[in-house]
Amino acid sequence: EDKVVQSPLSLVVHEGDTVTLNCSYEVTNFRSLLWYKQEKKAPTFLFMLTSSGIEKKSGRLSSILDKKELFSILNITATQTGDSAVYLCALAGGTSYGKLTFGQGTILTVHP
């Protein structure tokens, strides 16, 4: 069975802190790993990762994939209150070609 597990489930930090969100997976026929940010509306795309060891970066956010150990991390440096959101990890691949499996999400709260 395809599985995506995110940790921690929730996290509370103060502005300026650095956070690391984790996503581990078990999936047949891996194709890509996707990170999304969800505020009080629809998820918005952050990163797509397909190769191990290649960091993707966008401003204060970065992400990397380890296909050997089957996990990915999302780092956010110098956090701001606007980073407060649910961060979702999703795996493309699995028992059906077009399948997408999401983790439960990590709720990040950034206090001023």
Partner 1 sequence: EAQVTQNPRYLITVTGKKLTVTCSQNMNHEYMSWYRQDPGLGLRQIYYSMNVEVTDKGDVPEGYKVSRKEKRNFPLILESPSPNQTSLYFCASSPLYPYEQYFGPGTRLTVT
Contact residues: partner 1, CB under 8 A: 31-32, 34, 41-45, 48, 88, 90, 92-93, 96-105
Q: Which is nearer to partner 1, 17 or 86 (CB)?
A: 86
Pairwise CA distance, residues 93 & 48, whole Å: 13
CA angle 17, 69, 97 (to 5 degrees): 105
Nearer to partner 1, 17 or 67 (CB): 67
Nearest approach, Cβ of residue 23 and partner 1 (Å): 12
Select from 40, 39, 63 the least CA-distant residue to 50.
Answer: 63
Quote the least distance from Cβ 15 to partner 1, whole Å.
Answer: 27
Helix (H) or strand (E) holding 13: strand 10-14
In whole angstroms, the minimum distance from the beta carbon of 6 to partner 1 comes to: 8
